[in-house]
């Protein structure tokens, strides 16, 4: 079969276009999967959803991955992934449930068992050996529950610790966050005293409004209150995170627009960091510590921004020096409520934007901590996304602290 000269040129062009397309496709390398929990519109009574996105290693842009699945409950509010990245847990305040999903290597989620709490869960955490799941719950009181995990499966609650303020046992204490140290030796819960902090109403208590409860974690999840716990934490603490060296704990104060830092002594006891608290944006609601232990990123709900801080590795003091244009410089879509960093490279930061119905992405400079928006951000999601979780894809190494 013979081709004319024009036909030969067409064939060469077509082959070149095909090769270019294939090469372009090959350049898209997935390093992480992003799971986004979204709510269903109020009054529908239906389950929430979990959408899966793939992260491009070069740009940090995300694109739809595995099919969207039901979250297994009503109104998801929090998610956490086991340290082996094989299991995902989703907390729902609409039906008081925690649902377990197995994570396949291609990011596909398979629903497993679920447990139901006596009151609505607010936040979740898992220890580093992925043997214990911690959940804080309550709308009229605060409870810390500890569930054993066996090959990812959730067992019956081993411990249920009611959180009360000494001298004010009748006050209404509401939980907002929970974090367990990387070594699993201690767990911390943020909560505020609604009897003492009641905007628009009349306070009925003279107690300090904001608190962090600390516990040493023993065999089987046994909890022993840390020395001098609970610790004062501003007015309305909204989230808590520990650094990967197990030396520092950081808390956001939603009402005072601040970041509060603590050093850890004796395994679980907290002491305020010097020179704190530290300025944040308006209504800081979530935070994440860089997996190398060098930076902190705080999502500010009211001004739709991310505040960036460098951590003094000796003292734990966060500095806003990486924010060359101030806390307002890293703009997100409307009302970020969750924030996380990719575990594979530790180079991309993402926020779930509740009113923006989207995820915003940033590229993290590991040398300076500065953020630059990723390609095509923000990325559309389901209605009212509330939580994010990431797992590395394939054999990519996971970033860790090197102090």
Q: What local confidence, expressed as pLDDT, does residue 31 receive?
A: 84
Residue-wise pLDDT for 342-361, tens only, equals: 998 899 999 999 999 999 99
Residue 116 vs residues 94, 131, 332: alpha-carbon distances, Å:
11, 19, 34
The answer, yes or no, to whether the previous bond of 277 is cis (omega within 30 of 0) is yes
Closest C-alpha to 287, from 264, 275, 305: 305
pLDDT of amino acid 330: 92
| pLDDT value, residue 275 | 87
pLDDT score at 253: 98
| Res. 245: pLDDT tops 90 | yes
Q: How far is Cα 246 from Cα 291, in angstroms, rounded to an integer? A: 12
Higher per-residue pLDDT: 315 or 22: 315
Q: What pLDDT is attached to residue 19?
A: 36
**Token match 């699993």: residue?**
184
Residues whose CB is less than 8 angstroms from the CB of residue 157 and which lie 6 or more positions away in sequence, other chains included: 115, 145, 146, 147
Residue 5 pLDDT more than 70? no
What values do phi and psi take at 342, rounded to 5? -65, 135
* pLDDT per residue as tens digits for the range 119-168: 999 999 999 999 999 999 999 999 999 999 999 999 999 999 999 999 99
- What pLDDT shows up at residue 40? 66
The answer to whether the CB of 357 falls within 8 A of the CB of 382 is yes
Query: Phi/psi of residue 208, each to 5°?
Result: -60, 135
Query: Which residues are paired to 269 by β-bridges?
Result: 265
pLDDT bracket for residue 12 (50, 70, 90): very low
Angle, vertex CA 135, rays to CA 73 and CA 202, nearest 5: 95
- Alpha-carbon distance values, 239 to 43, 169, 285, 300 (Å): 28, 23, 6, 12
CA distances from residue 188 to 168, 175, 231, 309 in whole angstroms, order as listed: 20, 11, 10, 22
Q: Hey, how many other C-beta atoms are within 10 angstroms of the C-beta on 222?
A: 13
Report pLDDT digits (tens) over 190-202: 999 999 998 988 9
Q: Average pLDDT for residues 252-279, to the nearest whole number?
A: 96
Section 57-63 average pLDDT: 93
Using 50, 70 and 90 to split pLDDT, how confident is the model at 48? very high
Question: Mean pLDDT throughout 171-183?
Answer: 97
269 burial via Cβ count (<10 Å: 0-12, 13-18, 19+): middle
Q: What is the pLDDT of residue 396?
A: 46
Residue 403, pLDDT > 70, answer no
Query: Average pLDDT over the chain, rounded to whole?
Result: 89
Distant-in-sequence, close-in-space partners of 46: CB < 8 Å, separation ≥ 6: 40, 74
Higher-confidence residue of 203 and 398: namely 203
Q: What is the pLDDT of residue 30?
A: 81
Q: What's the predicted TM-score (pTM) here?
A: 0.90
Q: Is the pLDDT of residue 289 over 80?
A: yes
Distance CA 393, CA 65 (A): 12
Tell me the chain's radius of gyration from C-alpha atoms: 22
The backbone torsions φ and ψ at residue 133, rounded to the nearest 5 degrees and listed phi first, read -110, 125
Residue 45 buriedness (CB in 10 A; 0-12 / 13-18 / 19+): exposed
**What ranges make up the beta strands (E) of 26-139?**
30-38, 49-56, 62-64, 69-70, 76-81, 87-92, 97-103, 109-116, 121-126, 132-137
What lies within 8 Å, CB to CB, of 61 at 6+ separation is: 55, 361, 374, 375, 376, 377, 379
């Amino acid at each position: 079969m013979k081709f004319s000269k024009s036909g030969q040129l067409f064939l060469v062009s077509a082959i070149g276009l095909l090769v270019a397309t294939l090469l372009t496709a090959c350049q898209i390398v997935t390093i992480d999967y992003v799971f986004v929990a979204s709510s269903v519109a109020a009054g529908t009574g239906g389950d929430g959803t979990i959408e899966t996105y793939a992260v491009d290693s070069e740009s940090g842009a995300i694109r739809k991955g595995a099919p969207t699945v039901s979250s297994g409950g009503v109104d998801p509010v929090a998610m956490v992934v086991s340290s082996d990245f094989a299991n995902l847990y989703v907390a729902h305040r609409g039906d008081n449930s925690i649902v377990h999903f197995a994570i396949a290597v291609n990011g596909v989620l398979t629903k497993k068992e679920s447990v139901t709490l006596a009151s609505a869960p607010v936040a979740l955490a898992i220890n580093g050996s992925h043997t214990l799941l911690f959940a804080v719950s309550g709308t009229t009181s605060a409870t810390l529950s500890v569930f054993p995990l066996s090959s990812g499966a959730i067992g019956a609650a081993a411990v249920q610790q009611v959180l009360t303020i000494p001298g004010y046992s009748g006050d209404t204490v509401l939980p907002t966050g929970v974090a367990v140290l990387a070594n699993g030796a201690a767990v911390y819960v943020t909560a505020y005293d609604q009897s003492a902090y009641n905007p628009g109403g009349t306070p009925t208590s003279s107690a300090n409004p904001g608190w962090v409860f600390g516990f040493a974690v023993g065999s089987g999840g046994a909890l022993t209150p840390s020395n001098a716990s609970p610790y004062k934490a501003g007015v309305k603490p909204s989230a808590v995170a520990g650094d990967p060296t197990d030396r520092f704990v950081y808390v956001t104060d939603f009402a005072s627009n601040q970041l509060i830092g603590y050093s850890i002594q004796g395994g679980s006891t907290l002491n305020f960091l010097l020179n704190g608290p530290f300025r944040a944006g308006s209504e800081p609601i979530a935070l994440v510590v860089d997996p190398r232990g060098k930076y902190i990123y705080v999502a500010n709900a009211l001004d739709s921004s991310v505040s960036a801080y460098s951590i003094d590795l000796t003292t734990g003091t966060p500095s806003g020096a990486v924010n060359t244009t101030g806390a307002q410089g890293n703009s997100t879509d409307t009302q970020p409520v969750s924030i996380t960093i990719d575990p594979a490279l530790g180079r991309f930061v993402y926020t779930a934007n509740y009113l923006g119905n989207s995820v915003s992405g940033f590229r993290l400079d590991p040398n300076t901590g500065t953020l630059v928006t990723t390609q095509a951000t923000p990325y559309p999601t389901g209605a009212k996304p509330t939580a994010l979780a990431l797992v590395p894809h394939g054999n990519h190494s996971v970033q860790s602290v090197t102090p």
